[in-house]
Chains A and B, each alone.
Chain A
Amino acid sequence: MDTSNLKKVDIIFSKVDNPLQILDKALQKSPDDIINEIIDSGLKGRGGAGFPTGLKWKFTKNEDSDVKYVICNADEGEPGTFKDRQIIEEVPEKIFIGMALAAYCIGAKEAYMYLRGEYNFLKKDIIPKMEWFNNEIKNRGLDVTLYLRSGSGAYICGEESALFESMEGKRGEPRNKPPYPTKAGYNNKPTSINNVETLVFVTMIQHLGVEEFKKLGTKDSRGSKVFSISGDTPIPGIYELELGMKVSDFVREFGDGDTKAVQIGGASGFCVPRKNFENTIIGFEGIPTGGSVMLFNSSRSMYNILHNYLDFFVEESCAQCTPCRAGLQQLLKGIEAIKRREKPASYLNELIKLSQTMKVASKCGLGQSVANPFVSIVENFKEEIIF
């Protein structure tokens, strides 16, 4: 008997006979029709931020510019996230179709995939497939070319404006916003930048129809999502699940019977302690995630986990803005000092205030989101941080 409250879905990795037919069918529609379908579907970005995909395309389309760009963000770097790698390995043609449709809709001639350097080994398969696809779209009279660009081991380049800087041959330092990418992105031209999984969903919404997609999920979190599940679980791996599930149902399925906390959204996400499993939802109405869900059992020290996260951020901060650069170092030094009893336990309150200042004062999402793990771990596991 299936006692699971989770609904497993197979959209992203499903094999489609002759996927190019999806492209052919879609190209019979006008760009506006496709954009309206994507808006109607309620699809939100699957990279974590959750911006409505159809609106992003609409804004980029409405910009008055001869040159526009499409970028597929394949700089998957959030700790605990590994689903894009598998999507690229297994169904690259579905990503390419999503990129080509994005270019068709917004009026771009160039579409780039920015692949993280850690995934360089995928290039030997991707490049020939991309060449094949470029030929296919040329044969269809579509004036779009796909290109592959690589990262070089910088987490921050997954942040869209840092990614543009990197593609422009500069240090991957995020820009001030606005202007947003839809107005001034790569080469300061209107750019639609979407996550790998989002582009596959666009393709599959064209294939299955909007209504089929809308049947899944909740009002705020339409559809399904590919999750990367790791940590203390007997069955780590990649699972596509309907959105809007309770953490308690998730833990029942994936936990090892001793789960004390679940980190949702990677190092920059939130830690949910056992007492909140029942009333926390994974999705845009609760805790959103780019896919990373990590389980911790009672053998784990939450101090060590927080320390590992802070180490990660200290190294990956681009260090251009002071709140993030100096704030991270002080948070790390601070918890170490409390552990060594050089600072009183009450110092934790100062550190929480510092992380909240970083949330307001940092330039980009990296510094702004450090308070998520910091506060949620410190407040729920205070005794482990102090003693």
Chain B
Amino acid sequence: MQEQNELIKILVEKHGRTRNALMPILQDIVAEKQFLEPSDIALVAEELDLSAADVYGTATFYTFLDTVPRGKNVIRVCKTISCYMSGKDEIINALEKVLNIKVGDTTVDKQFTLLTANCMGWCHKGPVMLINDDVYHSLTPEAAIEIVQQYKEKSKN
């Protein structure tokens, strides 16, 4: 709680207390901890003198401002047309298998959340996925598994 207070205080100082600062503040919280907890929303609302409902309403509009618990690494596989044509289903199947979860779920150790997303702007190099902010394109099921294994290794160290 102490840490959370401090993070939000720092972000409010950095971006300001105006409504225009709301998106950058929420984005930075998500960058730090992957999702917004109800207490984050209440605190930001208090600092910016907005109603918590208003802040929650804004956050829930945006796909990347998650308000439900997410793992440390959020995987988003593109499901729009050209990635669909180039085999996104095989990528999703491979990831579900290696992570032992379904799309929408988070692993028990809270390391990975698997999601699908709409067009990410790599239509010439599909299928593509984002892990947090990093892009992996021209995927094969084997390559996708390999990449996830690397993240698993990293989290062990």
A194 at the interface (CB under 8 A from B): no
Chain B, Cβ-Cβ closest to A233: B124
Find chain A residues with CB under 8 A from B123 CB. Answer: 79-82, 228, 230-231, 236, 292, 294
A229 and B62 form a contact (CB under 8 A): no
Number of interface residues, chain A, beta carbon within 8 A: 52
1/0 contact string of B62-76 vs chain A (CB within 8 Å): 111100000000000
Chain A, Cβ-Cβ closest to B59: A152
1/0 contact string of B24-57 vs chain A (CB within 8 Å): 1011000000000000000000000000000001
Interface size class of B (residues with CB under 8 A): 35 or more
B23 and A312 form a contact (CB under 8 A): no
Find chain A residues with CB under 8 A from B62 CB. Answer: 117, 151-154, 172
A33 at the interface (CB under 8 A from B): no
A121 and B135 form a contact (CB under 8 A): yes
Shortest A162–chain B CB gap in Å is: 10
A238 at the interface (CB under 8 A from B): yes
Find chain B residues with CB under 8 A from A236 CB. Answer: 123-125
B1-25 interface (Cβ within 8 A of A): 18-24
Find chain B residues with CB under 8 A from A229 CB. Answer: 124
B147 at the interface (CB under 8 A from A): no
A383 to B108, CA, bound (A): 47
A171 at the interface (CB under 8 A from B): yes
A285-311 interface (Cβ within 8 A of B): 292, 294, 300, 304-305, 308-309, 311
Shortest A308–chain B CB gap in Å is: 5
Q: Which of A82, A84, A305, A309 contacts B124 (CB 8 A)?
A: A82
Find chain B residues with CB under 8 A from A93 CB. Answer: none
Task: Select the stretch in B79-87, B90-98, B149-157 that faces chain A.
Answer: B79-87
A171 and B57 form a contact (CB under 8 A): yes
B119 at the interface (CB under 8 A from A): yes
Tell me whether A300 and B118 are in contact in the complex, defined as CB-CB below 8 angstroms, given that A79-B80, A152-B62, A308-B80 are known contacts: no
Chain A, Cβ-Cβ closest to B57: A171
Shortest B92–chain A CB gap in Å is: 14
Find chain B residues with CB under 8 A from A311 CB. Answer: 79
Chain A, Cβ-Cβ closest to B124: A236
1/0 contact string of A221-235 vs chain B (CB within 8 Å): 000000011111000
A238 and B124 form a contact (CB under 8 A): yes
A316 at the interface (CB under 8 A from B): yes
A76 to B22, CA, bound (A): 22
- A-B contacts, 30 of them at CB < 8 A, read A76-B121, A77-B121, A80-B81, A80-B82, A82-B122, A117-B27, A121-B134, A121-B135, A151-B64, A152-B26, A152-B64, A153-B63, A153-B64, A166-B23, A168-B19, A168-B20, A169-B19, A171-B57, A228-B123, A229-B124, A230-B124, A231-B85, A231-B123, A232-B85, A292-B123, A294-B81, A294-B82, A300-B85, A304-B84, A312-B80
